[in-house]
């Protein structure tokens, strides 16, 4: 696993260990945290390597699979860490594919719905090629992932590496970072702290939010499937960011006011996965956890994080 100490990566490490796998997690802790994998650190089937996967990669012994999840993923990171994002999507993908080739291992790439850019079709099927501004602020992430997909398919066609590509749509849940700049943690931080809720634009832009447990189930099934090529994994339940902000206000019982801020450049206006392919090739996979239930679990996690911070300060 690369990116094993991140939000999604850590959930995946827990799942893989619980499935009986022996897991080696590589992470340079750029946006991840050791606390995310703390419970696994003493486990006999888990090893953590503090390592930057854009450098030469070596692992002793055999490997069955490599899951490449390392990459900053928050819009705030697109401005803060542009070169690191481009490097981990390009050099990091090259190094991990090289290792997969050397070990005869299956390779699973964590790609993204951002490959579709600001889409002209909604919902987005895997056959849609996308609408991306390569030189915009978001281009560093979108193009890094598009390059990573191209490199993954080249290793498949040219070197025969067995590959899987997950096009992941917006995912949320415990272990997201309150300050990482994504919409859901932002709204929670503001609602729980009694601050204004900042909504970009008029808040009518849509997203489709998937609870992390459902995503992890989809990735596990994809890893074990025979399907080569991109598969959308996300929740087809589309909602506007204003609706999300209002729902978070409701479940936190907050009376914070909602205020508008200018829309960042190239912000996608709509985002919704067509998951017909996932249903077909992943044994009927679809999200099971209702958004409200997922948000309540996330609220409980963030409340606990804030409580721990208060007691650490006291």
The answer to whether the beta carbons of residues 216 and 15 sit under 8 Å apart is yes
The residue from 13, 31, 107, 146 that contacts ligand NAD (CB under 6 A) is 31
Given the rule CB under 6 A, which of 16-24, 46-54, 198-206, 222-230 is the region that contacts ligand NAD? Answer: 46-54
Site for ligand NAD in 69-128 (CB under 6 A): 69-73, 84, 88, 92, 110, 112
The residue from 26, 46, 78, 187 that contacts ligand NAD (CB under 6 A) is 26
How is residue 77 annotated by DSSP?
A: H
The residue from 1, 25, 52, 192 that contacts ligand NAD (CB under 6 A) is 52
Place of tokens 């993954």: 152
**Catalytic residue (choose from 51, 116, 128, 141):** 141
Q: What residues pair up with 231 in beta bridges, in sequence order?
A: 166
Given the rule CB under 6 A, which of 68-76, 130-138, 195-203, 286-294 is the region that contacts ligand NAD? Answer: 68-76
Cα Dmax for the chain = 59
The residue from 14, 25, 48, 54 that contacts ligand NAD (CB under 6 A) is 54
Site for ligand NAD in 281-310 (CB under 6 A): none
Given the rule CB under 6 A, which of 29-37, 115-123, 125-133, 282-290 is the region that contacts ligand NAD? Answer: 29-37
The tokens describing 171, both together, are 């995912």
The residue from 1, 27, 115, 149 that contacts ligand NAD (CB under 6 A) is 27
* 56 in active site: no
d(CA 131, CA 139): 11
For residue 276, the Cα-to-chain-centroid distance in whole angstroms is 20
Taking the complex as a whole, the smallest distance from the CB of residue 20 to ligand NAD amounts, in Å, to 23
Should residue 5 be labelled a site residue for ligand NAD when binding is judged by CB under 6 A?
yes
Given the rule CB under 6 A, which of 51-59, 123-131, 154-162, 248-256 is the region that contacts ligand NAD? Answer: 51-59
d(CA 54, CA 85): 10
Taking the complex as a whole, the smallest distance from the CB of residue 145 to ligand NAD amounts, in Å, to 6
CB under 8 Å, gap of 24 or more: what pairs does 281-285 form? 281/225, 281/226, 281/227, 281/231, 282/218, 282/221, 282/222, 282/225, 282/227, 282/231, 283/221, 283/225, 285/217, 285/218, 285/221, 285/233
Should residue 235 be labelled a site residue for ligand NAD when binding is judged by CB under 6 A?
no
Taking the complex as a whole, the smallest distance from the CB of residue 236 to ligand NAD amounts, in Å, to 15
CB under 8 Å, gap of 24 or more: what pairs does 38-47 form? 39/14, 40/13, 40/14, 43/17, 45/17, 45/20, 45/21, 46/13, 46/17, 46/22, 47/23
Question: Which residues contact ligand NAD (rule: CB under 6 A)?
Answer: 2-3, 5-9, 26-32, 52-54, 69-73, 84, 88, 92, 110, 112, 168, 170-171
Q: Which amino acids are annotated catalytic?
A: 141
């Amino acid at each position: 696993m690369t990116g094993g100490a991140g939000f999604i990566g850590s959930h995946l490490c827990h799942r893989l260990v619980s499935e009986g796998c022996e897991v080696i997690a590589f992470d340079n802790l750029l946006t991840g945290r050791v606390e995310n994998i703390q419970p696994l650190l003493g486990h006999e089937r888990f090893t953590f390597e503090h390592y930057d996967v854009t450098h030469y990669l070596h692992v002793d012994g055999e490997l069955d699979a490599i899951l490449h999840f390392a990459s900053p993923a928050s819009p705030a990171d697109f401005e803060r860490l542009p070169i690191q994002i481009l490097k981990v999507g390009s050099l990091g993908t090259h190094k991990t594919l090289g290792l997969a080739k050397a070990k005869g291992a299956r390779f699973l790439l964590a790609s993204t719905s951002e490959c579709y850019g600001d889409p002209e079709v909604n919902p987005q099927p895997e056959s849609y090629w996308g609408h991306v501004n390569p030189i915009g602020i978001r281009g560093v992430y979108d193009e890094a992932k598009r390059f990573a997909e191209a490199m993954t398919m080249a290793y498949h066609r040219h070197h025969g590496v067995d590959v899987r590509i997950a096009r992941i749509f917006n995912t949320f849940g415990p272990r997201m970072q309150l300050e990482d700049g994504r919409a859901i943690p932002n709204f929670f931080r503001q609602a729980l702290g009694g601050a204004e809720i900042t909504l970009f634009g008029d808040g009518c832009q849509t997203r489709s939010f998937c609870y992390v447990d459902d995503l992890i189930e989809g990735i596990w099934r994809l890893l074990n499937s025979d399907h080569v090529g991109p598969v959308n994994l996300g929740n087809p339940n589309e909602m506007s960011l204003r609706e999300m902000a209002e729902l978070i206000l409701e479940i936190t019982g907050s009376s914070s006011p909602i205020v508008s801020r200018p829309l960042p450049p190239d912000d996608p206006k709509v985002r919704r996965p067509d998951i017909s392919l996932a249903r077909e090739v992943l044994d009927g996979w679809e999200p099971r956890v209702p958004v409200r239930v997922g948000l309540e679990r996330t609220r409980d996690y963030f409340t606990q994080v804030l409580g721990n911070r208060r007691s650490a300060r006291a």
